[in-house]
Amino acid sequence: MPKDPRIRSVLLIGSGPIIIGQACEFDYSGSQASRSLRQEGIEVTLINSNPATIMTDPVTADHVYLMPLTVESIVEILKKHKIDAVLPTMGGQTALNLAMECDKLGVWKEHKVRMIGVDTEAIDITENRERFRKLMESIGIPMAPSKTVTSFLEGKKVAQEFGFPLVIRASYTLGGTGAAFVHRPEDFDRLLKHGLQVSPIHEVLIDKALLGWKEFELELLRDKDDNVTIICSIENFDPMGVHTGDSITVAPAMTLSDRTYQKMRTMAIKMMRSIGDFAGGCNVQFAVSPDEAEDIYAVEINPRVSRSSALASKATGYPIAKIASKLAIGYRLDELENPITGTSAYFEPTLDYVIVKVPRWNFDKFEGSDRRLGLQMKSVGEVMGIGRCFQEALQKACQSLEIRRNGLGADGKEVTDPQVLLDSLSNPSWHRLFHIYDAIKAGVPFKTIHERTGIDLWFLKQVEDLILTEKEIQKHTLEDIPRDLLLEAKQKGYADRQIAHLLHCLESEVRQKREEMGIKRVYKLVDTCAGEFPAKTPYYYSTFEEENESLRSDRKKIIVLGSGPNRIGQGIEFDYCCVHGVLAARQEGYETIMINCNPETVSTDFDTADKLYFEPVFWEHIYDIIEHEKPEGVIVQLGGQTALKLAEKLHRYGIPVIGTSYEALDMAEDRERFSSMLRDLGIPYPKFGAVNTAEEAIALSRELGFPLLVRPSYVLGGQKMKIVINEEELVDQVLDILRLMPD
């Protein structure tokens, strides 16, 4: 059955400004949905308040409104345009809340606008914790014991009834706002008051805590005839207790038995069908007991495109937002085509690789902040690594983070203090993965690590296996390392730089050695079907095998380096630049090649560039792609500091930097060269000096006088910049910069 002929004009609500818990994944889903609807001849009107997005580009929709996301703005648009339907599922919690507010005020009814992709009943059930719990109970889906309260006294009674530990979750909030674990009665009053305050309806759900249970997610799509397909299973590396946005996640699920997965799948479909009669996407979260019984409890369901939907789309190559928007206008799953394989969209994706998502935090911007991870999300971005095995994907994700690590381990930055390690294992933090590696290497028993972290033993064994591989490598020199061992290390994701550290040689020497041995990176397709059907879309990841599926064309090529993970000072605006750079190069007749590792972005959509390499923006990976593709040059000026930092190495290797030359980039970014240029041009500038040691800084301060502005070169967003007023502050700041930014 074709699309609903009554829907000729759709209003798409965006997600507004980037906030923790709601980032550029909604720009990706919103822009994809808009293109999908326009392909069907539907007039799209879009409202969003964030000017740094692709979705607010004039070319994305027929009418774009950069306006506050308020009821007043919606009414103004409805008066100007004849809107048949509103699609609020592509703009996160912000869009859902605004759609519900408009519904309660009768705005949609007054202007004869239908809500598609979700319905008000589904939103209310999933956001109202008490209604959701009662519905799950009625359809036989188990949940942790819980009760909803709307007052302080009610909450105290529930705490007495359940006992501790407890979880407090505020209704109608995003990113875990107002959520907390309560281990002790003395903390309960404060956290309960906070939850009631931040909930817009002053309601919280109090759960019996499932500490140590494993957490899983399923991404689903449903059409109007109640057909449901599972797009992806995602497993959280961290157990319940860490917000899924702050947890390392893995797809497909690694530690779930087939019996339990099938049971979970059945439960998820039952849950989606129970919450309302709508066609669209859904994200369902489960907790699974860590024992052999593998009991399953439902945690929550989101009747919209989510952060995990963007991850699942990039993990599988299945365009969830695109298909969800077509389902919303009346298509059935079996009527739609998977654009990668040309097969039916009803076929569930199959993966012959593993993806690992690792969050990116920015705690260094907030000295003294609480760095412990819990139910409230704190990460500002994320990266994704794709590999043939978990270890390869994990190493590639760690190489993508840009936190001055060459991967997991083998870089000389291990922590050896037993007490620091044990404390870190017990208290989830941004560097716990690295400390798990350090603890295993230091000989901390598996039982202790598992008890303190709750992380499944399968994952711990994978990390231990990496350490055993390193020990084998250290028995050799570059001259006598066996080919099989070097190949094994590369297949487990080790960078040449890590292997060089273990063999006490140069990165370039390791590269030369593996090339002599015929150990070369090849590229595999992300095709949604594990090679069962021919794939049309050039979306690649690297590994070390025999067959290379990335065929080089004879066309002139341009590579655009992406901006990597979002962080403060380098966000969605650089992805916007990269996308426009790709489009401009394509218009000039070049074959465009995108390299990036951020699953939230439009630039990593499989049809943005002619070729997408979902790889770390990390020298070794970039150089191998350049060697394979032989481009005319590389554009670095669109990807923020991530790409700019690679300009010097590209220049040194004789690879053309397209656009602004390396010489000009360095003159602008190197503080000493820039100030010297101002002096030579006769442009007024503050007195300055460049130093390499704390002693030089003290000597210079006596010449310049205080206060002084101390800052490194090649940074963005004021990173590590500080005004100092005396020698003590100066020395601390200089040493801090040299410690964290030795280059």
Where does the pLDDT of residue 687 fall: very low under 50, low under 70, confident under 90, or very high at 90 and above? Answer: confident
Residue with tokens 């020298």: 619
Over residues 135-145, the pLDDT tens digits come to 999 999 999 88
Q: What CATH number labels 358-519? A: 1.10.1030.10
pLDDT at 533: 61
**What average pLDDT does range 677-686 have in this prediction?**
90
Using the Cα atoms of residue 694, residue 698, residue 701 and residue 706 in order, give the sign of their dihedral. positive
Sorted by sequence, the CB contacts under 8 Å of residue 353 that are 6+ apart come out as: 386, 387, 388, 393, 524, 526, 541, 543
Mean pLDDT computed over every residue of the chain: 91
Q: Where are the domains of the chain?
A: 9-116, 145-208, 214-349, 358-519, 523-668, 670-740
For 732, other C-beta atoms within 10 Å of its C-beta total 14
Residue 2: its pLDDT value, please?
A: 63
Structure confidence by residue, pLDDT tens digits, 355-372: 999 999 988 777 777 888
Residue 730 banded pLDDT, cuts 50, 70, 90: confident
Residue 182, amino acid: V
Cα–Cα dist 703/699, whole Å: 7
Grade residue 743 by pLDDT with cuts at 50, 70 and 90.
low
93-102, 130-139, 169-178, 584-593: range with lowest mean pLDDT: 169-178
CA 119 to chain centre: 28
DSSP letters of 90-116?
TSHHHHHHHHHHHHHTTHHHHTT-EE-
pLDDT at 207: 85
670-740 CATH choice from 3.30.1310.10, 3.40.50.460, 3.30.1490.20, 1.10.3210.10: 3.30.1490.20
Q: At 317, is the pLDDT very low, low, confident or very high (cuts 50, 70, 90)?
A: confident
Residue 473 — very low, low, confident or very high, per pLDDT cuts 50/70/90? very high
| pLDDT-based confidence at residue 347 (cuts at 50, 70, 90) | confident
Quote the CA–CA distance of 422 and 419 in Å, as a whole number.
5
Check if 523-668 and 670-740 are the same fold.
Answer: no
For the record, the structure tokens of 167 come out as 């979880």
pLDDT of res. 1: 47
| 532-540 mean pLDDT | 74
* Greater pLDDT, 329 or 740: 329
% of the chain with per-residue pLDDT over 70: 97
The residue with greater pLDDT, 98 or 732, is 98
pTM over 0.85: yes
Q: CATH classification of 523-668 is 3.40.30.10, yes or no?
A: no
Long-range pairs of 625-629 with CB within 8 A, sequence gap ≥ 24: 625/542, 625/559, 625/593, 625/595, 626/559, 626/655, 628/521, 628/523, 628/548, 628/550, 628/552, 629/552, 629/557, 629/559, 629/593
Q: What is the fold, at CATH topology level, of the domain defined by 145-208?
A: Dna Ligase; domain 1 (3.30.1490)
pLDDT per position as a tens digit, 186-238:
888 889 998 999 888 888 888 888 888 999 999 999 999 999 999 999 999 99
Least confident of 336-350, 468-482, 698-712: 336-350
Separation between Cα atoms, residue 496 and residue 504, nearest integer Å: 12
Asked whether residue 375 carries a pLDDT value surpassing 90, the answer given is no
Tell me the Cα Rg of the chain. Answer: 26
pLDDT (0 to 100) of residue 46 = 95
Superfamily of domain 214-349 in CATH is ATP-grasp fold, B domain (3.30.470.20)
Which CATH number does 9-116 carry?
A: 3.40.50.20
Do residues 605 and 28 touch, judged by C-beta distance below 8 A? Answer: yes
* Mean pLDDT, residues 398-412: 94
